[in-house]
Structure 1
Amino acid sequence: MSISIGHLGPRGTYSEQAALAYRAWLASQQHSDITLTTYPSILQAIQAVAAGEVSCAIVPVENSIEGTVAVTLDTLWQLDSLRIQRALVLPIRHTFITHAKETAQVETIYSHPQALGQCQQWIARECPIATLIPTRSTTESLQHLEESPTIAAIASEWAASLYQVPVLARSINDRPDNCTKFWILNQEHSQEGSHTSLAFSLPINCPGALLRPLEIFAEADINLSRIESRPTKRSLGEYLFFLDLEASLTSAHTQDALKNLENCTETLKLFGSYATIPVASGVAE
Structure 2
Amino acid sequence: MPTSPDLRTQLQAAATRLRAGGEPAPDLAEYVRKVLLPGGWKELRATDKESSEPNLTIRIARQYRDAVVAAAADQVVTLTSVVNEGYKKFLAGEFKTRDREKVRGQERRPTGEQKVNLNVTPNAALLAQVRDSGVLPMHVAGDYLMHYFKVGPYAPGYTEPLPSGSDRNPTMPRALRDKIRDRAAELGHPVHQDMNEGFQKYLAGEFTPAVPEWPKNAEMAILKVRPNNDLFDQVKVAARSKSPELRPIQIGLAYVMEKYGIDPTDTAAE
TM-score (norm 1): 0.22
Larger radius of gyration: 2
More strand by proportion, 1 or 2?
Answer: 1
